[in-house]
């Protein structure tokens, strides 16, 4: 029975492609967020900014006497 001829170049390409797919799946799991999650985070950040601006004490044009 003759030996099966295998193209090592095709094997390397397939191995590299599989590794990239594993990496992509890992990145999707670590960094992927839905639109709803992004919107919720943006709303929370803007709400925090508004709250902090509303609690600001004093005048914005404070002169520190260095001029």
**Residue 34 backbone zone (phi > 0: left; psi -120 to 50: alpha; other: beta):** beta
Closest by alpha carbon to 26, among 15, 36, 18?
A: 18
Q: Give residue 65's pLDDT.
A: 60
Q: Give residue 22's pLDDT.
A: 97
All residue ranges of the chain with pLDDT < 50 are none
Q: Give residue 33's pLDDT.
A: 85
């Amino acid at each position: 029975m003759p030996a099966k001829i295998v193209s090592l170049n095709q094997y390397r390409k397939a191995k590299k492609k599989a590794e990239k797919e594993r990496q992509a799946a890992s990145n999707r799991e670590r960094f992927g967020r839905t639109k709803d999650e992004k919107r919720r985070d943006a709303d929370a950040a803007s709400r925090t900014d508004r709250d902090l601006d509303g609690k600001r004490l004093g005048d914005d044009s404070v002169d520190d006497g260095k001029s």
